[in-house]
Amino acid sequence: MAASREYLPLPSEEELRTLYPTNLELLNVQVLFRHGERTPVRARFQTWGLPPFWPFCKIARQFTQTIVTYPNDATTPFEYVRRLESVAKDLPKNVPVPASGFKSGQSDELCMLGELTDLGRETGFKLGDRLRWLYIDKLKFLPPLFNDHKYFYFRSSHVARSNETLLSLFNGLYPPTFRKAGLKPTIYTRLFPQENAYPNDENCRRLSELGFMFAEIAAHRWNPVLADYPSSKLTDVLPNGIAIDGSPRASGVFDTVAACVAHNVPYPEGFKDERVVKEIREAVMDEWYLGVQKSREYRTLAVGAIAGDFLYRIKLAVSADKAAHGSKLKDLFSPREKFEPREKAVKLALYGSHDTTIASLLCAIQAFDHQWPPFTSDLRFELFAHSKPVEVPKPADKPTVSTSESEVMNTPLRPAGFVSSKTKREYFVRLTYNDKTLKLPGCAKEGEHLPGDSSFCTLEAFEKVINEFVPQNWELQCRQNLGKPVLDNPEIAKEFSTIPRVDGAVMSKPQA
């Protein structure tokens, strides 16, 4: 079970020349990455010997805040030590007691539930360091010093572990000695109702409703499977068996085991059985990602908005490149985009996100490998330009006026055409996932990719792939079709309608 990312070896010089041909110019890179290793999002399985608080947050134990010093309103850094407190439920009146870790002496290293751990900060830094090696040291694409904001766009989901991973990544990309003194990175965060860095079902009623439907389908399909082999191997820790809609849920069990594996925490022997892990993983992936694979409406509401963000920034970069080369071609933006603020094109955009974002996008573009995205996974969008010589036909010279027919017939003509010094800029988009180049089915046909390499989608083909699920109005579409089956997939809608439900109600909302 690969919970943490296993990096491929850095490419050799020869491999780099293959990955980045000299006839292609890199214009824009966007990196969507999952946060680093974290603790489980819920306290589970104390019967396994797991405490509710894990002692893997030594780095985060001291916080610095800026406070106002009265009476002159000056600001000053203020450091304090965070210490977690719990309650002893077996004592009268829930007496407060210090939270404890795996052993004594760890009170100042404890993590909150779902918090980025020291390991998660290290892997975030490692990803940033690898990006520096590639885009700064080798390709010379980014400036070696962070001395201007104009080349960058940084955004994180509002969840703390994503923001902290982004900070760690930036520290690897531009260590302190490679930054202009006093220049700080700007990180954008959206309000919760407008968040699109993960499938935002809490602010989209229709997406939440579709999530219920597909969770029920997964339970109907997989509960009999999970009740067989996996449950038989887990009776010592899950005496009631394991199920998609069980207590704890299969997804919660999977999440806790993944956190144990990542941090080398002992876990029950039953989860070391490859078949057990495989069947639980496939069941949970069906619960969370079947909807993205089978329903256009689902993927539109789940990840269409952030996919539109990637496409928007790609087109900004193309527009800037065309302007730099004196092209006067039609506007790339749709009428809907014309009302959005036009930002300057950047070279690098970083998005701190989550496993559900990456996996859902991979499903939406038909590139999912059916493995749960490990911690610190990244999905990259790279935009390239190719300058192609253009043959401009030139009409033959007119013969000199002559009264003699023979003179007219014997006048030599210049060649009908010649190769002009003008060039045409063509644009290609390539996606890589955890350093592996992706080949999208939507770019497979001739004319939809760079000749000889189908991993480079033409801009037109890539835009067609993304626009297949970009919402026209996300907030409006979240309020449409409420109470209806999966409209764009009759087969799935029929399957859902045959599932027995108590009083016609769907099961509880899926949560990790």
- Give the percent of the chain with pLDDT over 90: 67
132: in domain = no
Tokens of 451: 């000749």
Between 99 and 34, the higher pLDDT residue: 34
- In this predicted structure, what is the pLDDT of residue 510? 46
Task: Pinpoint the alpha helices (H) of 51-183.
Answer: 118-132, 160-173
**Structure confidence at residue 39 (pLDDT):** 95
Query: Rounded to an integer, what distance in angstroms lies between the CA atom of residue 480 and that of residue 436?
Result: 38
Q: What is the mean pLDDT of residues 69-92?
A: 71
Residue 1 has pLDDT above 80, yes or no: no
Q: How confident is the model at residue 71 (pLDDT cuts 50, 70, 90)?
A: low
Give the per-residue pLDDT at 324: 87
pLDDT band for position 49 (cuts 50, 70, 90): confident
Closest residue by Cα to residue 380 from 32, 62, 135: 32
Who has greater pLDDT, 323 or 161? 161
- Distance between CA 375 and CA 35 in Å, rounded? 6
- SS3 state at 154: strand
Greater confidence (187 vs 44) lies with 187
The pLDDT-based confidence of 412 (bands split at 50, 70, 90) is very low
Q: Residue 410 falls within a domain, yes or no? A: no
Determine, yes or no, domain membership for 28. Answer: no
Mean pLDDT over 414-425 rounds to 55
pLDDT of residue 407: 46
Task: Output the CA–CA distances (angstroms, integers) from residue 130 to 5, 36, 134, 240, in the order listed.
Answer: 13, 15, 6, 45
Q: What pLDDT, on a 0 to 100 scale, did the predictor assign at position 421?
A: 53
Asked if omega into 248 is within 30° of 0 (cis), the reply is yes
Domain with 80, as residue range(s), is: 58-110
Question: Residue 398: is its pLDDT beyond 80?
Answer: no
Q: Report, as an integer, the average pLDDT of 121-129.
A: 97
Res. 174: pLDDT tops 60: yes
In this structure, how many other beta carbons lie within 10 angstroms of the beta carbon of residue 488? 13
Evaluate whether residue 339 is within a structural domain. Answer: no
In a domain, 267, yes or no: yes
Contact 481, 488 (CB under 8 A): no
pLDDT tens-digit profile of 318-343? 999 998 887 654 556 665 555 444 56
Q: Indicate if the pLDDT at residue 109 is higher than 90.
A: no
Q: What is the mean pLDDT of residues 150-165?
A: 96
pLDDT at 383 over 60: yes
Question: What are 11-15's contacts with CB under 8 Å, separation 24+?
Answer: none
Tell whether the model's pLDDT for residue 397 goes beyond 60: no
| Cα(433)–Cα(477) distance, integer angstroms | 30
Structural domain count, the chain:
2
Q: What is the mean pLDDT of residues 185-192?
A: 95
Give phi and psi for 440, each to the nearest 5: -85, 135
Decide if 291 is inside a domain. Answer: yes
Residue 145 predicted with pLDDT over 90: yes
Q: Among all chains, which residue has been given the structure tokens 């918090």?
A: 115
Q: 490 lies in a domain? A: yes
Contacts of 274 (CB under 8 A, 6+ apart): none
With pLDDT > 70 as the criterion, what percentage of the chain qualifies? Answer: 82
CB 350 within 8 A of CB 169: yes
DSSP summary character for residue 493: H
Q: Which of 110, 130, 149 is the last residue of a domain?
A: 110
| Residue 123 covered by a domain | no
Which is it for strands 348-353 and 152-156: parallel, antiparallel or unpaired? parallel
Is the predicted pLDDT of residue 458 greater than 60, yes or no? yes
Beta-sheet strands, E only, within 107-227: 152-156, 187-188
